[in-house]
Structure 1
Amino acid sequence: MQKNNEIKLNYYLSPLSFLYGIGVWLRNRLFDWNVLHSEQYSIPVICIGNLSVGGTGKTPHTEYIIRLLKDKYRIAVLSRGYKRKTSGFILADSGSSSLEIGDEPFQMKNKFPDILVAVDANRRRGIQNLLSLPEKDKPEVILLDDAYQHRYVHPSLSIVLSDYHRLFYHDKLMPTGRLREPINNINRTDIVVVTKCDKDMKPIDFRIIEENMKLRAHQLLFFTSIVYGEIEPVFPSEARSLNHKAIEKEDDILLISGIAVPTPFIREAEKYSNKVLPAIFPDHHTFSKSDFKKLDTTFEKMTSPRKLILVTEKDAARLKNNPLVPENWKKSLYYLPIVIQFCNGQSFDETIKKHIITFQKNSTLQNKYE
């Protein structure tokens, strides 16, 4: 079980956290008092967010909901497109790049080409643009990526994620810790999902977390763990298919990571080989010419005949259309996809589906009697 003292906190920055907390408190009160206005919409808007900064697994959880709903509803994902080189509203198409829409929206558009993926820092404007599409293209459900703090939109359902190894109730406000807002603001959400759970968790571990969260009666709690898929080539036309079981313990792996929490990725790679060399970059890192030069020098020094470069799925999205990727990498560059697995997945699925059906039914009745 994760202990509070295992989380690194910068207590010397507590005065800044106090001032930051005052600002967050005031902003939230302005929404609560209707001084600042939250807009509701005529279709289900499901927000997937968190209380903390990054690393809780929003993208794989958003993808889980896409898989759950896409065969029955027209789905749109709306993100701000973090670190993209563009601004304003953009509706992704088959030619969109990660530089235009951001790495996570690019990843989702490539995985699910039939859904709508849009980016806009102004979520309210983004939703309005999506609802202005022709009737045949207009979404029936919108998934808001990382928008729990974007209170100008009032979602029909909110889901907050919390990393099992850094549970929000053990954390502190930025910059002392990683919380974007105080822990009591968890009360705004409908669902809490504890992510990245260890496979050997016992029933008592689940109960302890549930008790410590002190959720309200209507709030639901779920638990998920990461499941790694088969290794995939970043450039399929250049590299051979590769099963991780074919990797030998003495094969060199240059592991490149630009995600918030790379530890599980590193541990997974170390199951395949004894010679894993991690190269860790900040979350959403844009790889530069000098980065590639240093990494290529390191890779060239590796001596095993079947050496390879392994990246995260999110990093692969940035590398696919990066012209700076060395040509000699393309036959050796692979990524490791992940999906999430619910400990009580059927119940979660039913909750999401029921919400949409109930929302649409209530919306129909409301329109009928207006």
Structure 2
Amino acid sequence: MKKILLALPAFVFWCITELRNYFFDKKVIKRVTFQLPLIGIGNLNMGGTGKSPLVEWLLENFSHEFKMAVLSRGYGRKSRGFQVVETTSNYKQSGDEPLLFKWKFPQVPVCLSEDRVVGVPMLLGEFPETEAIILDDVFQHRAIKPGLMLLTTEYENLFTRDSIFPLGWLREDKKNYHRADIILVTKCPENLSQQEADKIRNEINPFPYQQLYFTAFEYGQLNELNNQPLPEKYSNVLLLTGIANAKPLQTFFEKFGKTVFEMNFADHHSFSKYNLEQLHEMKINLPPDTIIVTTEKDAVRLIEFKEWFVQNKFQLFIQPVRHHFLFNAAQEFSNNIRTFIQATTEKNS
């Protein structure tokens, strides 16, 4: 019954998105290109597919080789228009992900603009030495045409198995994956077999011009918000998160025999004092050897309560995460990115 009720709005949504794509494809609506190497990152599914860790992977591997910059719309921010993100910015004005990029890579310019066509020249005006720009969450922002488009899709929720919103979580028809140059299946099991990878490859059926990669999340060492040491022994973890999908993080701790308790909020949730009161009530009723763990993105939104954790003698541990390329494909992926940047630069020099 639910599917029947959602079928009509899903059809209307599909018609709107397909008509929009048709206008762009037929050049009724103009697409803008730039001579500068632009690397677009996006997804077909709503929700977290690993876009932000991919931005970080690119910055980690290329920001010392090229003068990179990031341009994002700054999802969830309360400000409007073009903005340069500083390490001292407030996430409410910048969005949590752009601020996290700036914290982790302070030497990299991070800018915001809902309109990327306007944002690129404004970024270059502020940072004329920029050699390449990463366009975050831009797959549906078709007014701008990146020279290289990366599409992320979750292992547990491949776009091929999803339906158009609101029947499912697709932002547009799944057939539009053809616009990607590189497809990354993210959050795979670390032990993904070649046989299963081949099945997924056949299911996605990439075009001859597309390359397909598989990545798993690699979790780093826990860091405490106030630089406190990690207890030598702990059996329980209380996850405090406001992300699209905390399941991979839960699975990670359970793999090491930890009992996981969860306090989950919606993606980009703005934590409040009431939420901290809820956290306090939950924590004091859990076993003493329970540690509180959050993500780096959530820490951006929790740091304003740093003193609260000190006053309540609660430690908040932050779990870093990064993409790990399976089947020893990291070098090949890196070479593709490097070749694109160099070739585009040489072509337009």
Normalising TM by the smaller chain, what interval? over 0.9
State yes or no: 1:101 paired with 2:86: no
In the alignment, residue 297 of structure 2 is paired with which amino acid? K
Q: 1:22 to 1:229 in 2, by over 3 A?
A: same
Shift of 1:274: 4.0
Deviation string, structure 1 residues 21-44 (Cα, Å, up to 9, x no partner): 000011011111212111111210
Residue in structure 2 matching 1:296, options 261, 264, 280: 280
The percentage of aligned residue pairs carrying the same residue is: 33
- Structure 2 distance, partners of 1:193, 1:329, is 42
SS in 2 for 1:76: strand
Shift of 1:256: 0.7
Point out where structure 1 has 5 or more consecutive residues left out of the alignment.
1-8, 365-370
CA RMSD of aligned residues (A): 1.8
Residue in structure 2 matching 1:241, options 229, 236, 241: 229
Shift of 1:303: 4.5
- Structure 2 distance, partners of 1:214, 1:301, is 50
Q: 1:94 to 1:248 in 2, by over 3 A?
A: closer
Residue in structure 2 matching 1:345, options 308, 330, 344: 330
- Structure 1 distance, partners of 2:84, 2:293, is 30
Shift of 1:254: 2.2
- Structure 1 distance, partners of 2:159, 2:77, is 28
- Structure 1 distance, partners of 2:3, 2:32, is 37
SS in 2 for 1:297: helix
- Structure 2 distance, partners of 1:12, 1:267, is 34
Quote the residue 2:187 is aligned against.
196
Deviation string, structure 1 residues 119-178 (Cα, Å, up to 9, x no partner): 11111111121111253xx31110011110000110010000010111111111000011
Point out where structure 2 has 5 or more consecutive residues left out of the alignment.
none
Query: Which piece of structure 1 moves more, 325-334 or 31-40?
Result: 325-334
Quote the residue 2:198 is aligned against.
207
Contact 2:153 2:185 in 1 (8 A): yes
TM-score by length of 2: 0.94
Residue in structure 1 matching 2:340, options 355, 360, 363: 355
Contact 1:12 1:176 in 2 (8 A): no
Shift of 1:325: 4.3
Quote the residue 1:280 is aligned against.
264
Deviation string, structure 1 residues 259-282 (Cα, Å, up to 9, x no partner): 111111112233456443211111
Quote the residue 2:7 is aligned against.
14
State yes or no: 1:320 paired with 2:303: yes
SS in 2 for 1:165: coil
Contact 2:293 2:317 in 1 (8 A): yes
SS in 2 for 1:316: helix
- Structure 2 distance, partners of 1:111, 1:125, is 26
Residue in structure 1 matching 2:123, options 130, 146, 155: 130
- Structure 1 distance, partners of 2:258, 2:181, is 43
Quote the residue 1:86 is aligned against.
79
SS in 2 for 1:270: helix
In the alignment, residue 66 of structure 1 is paired with which amino acid? L
Quote the residue 2:42 is aligned against.
49
- Structure 1 distance, partners of 2:15, 2:35, is 34
Give the number of aligned pairs. Answer: 346
Query: Which piece of structure 1 moves more, 197-206 or 341-350?
Result: 197-206
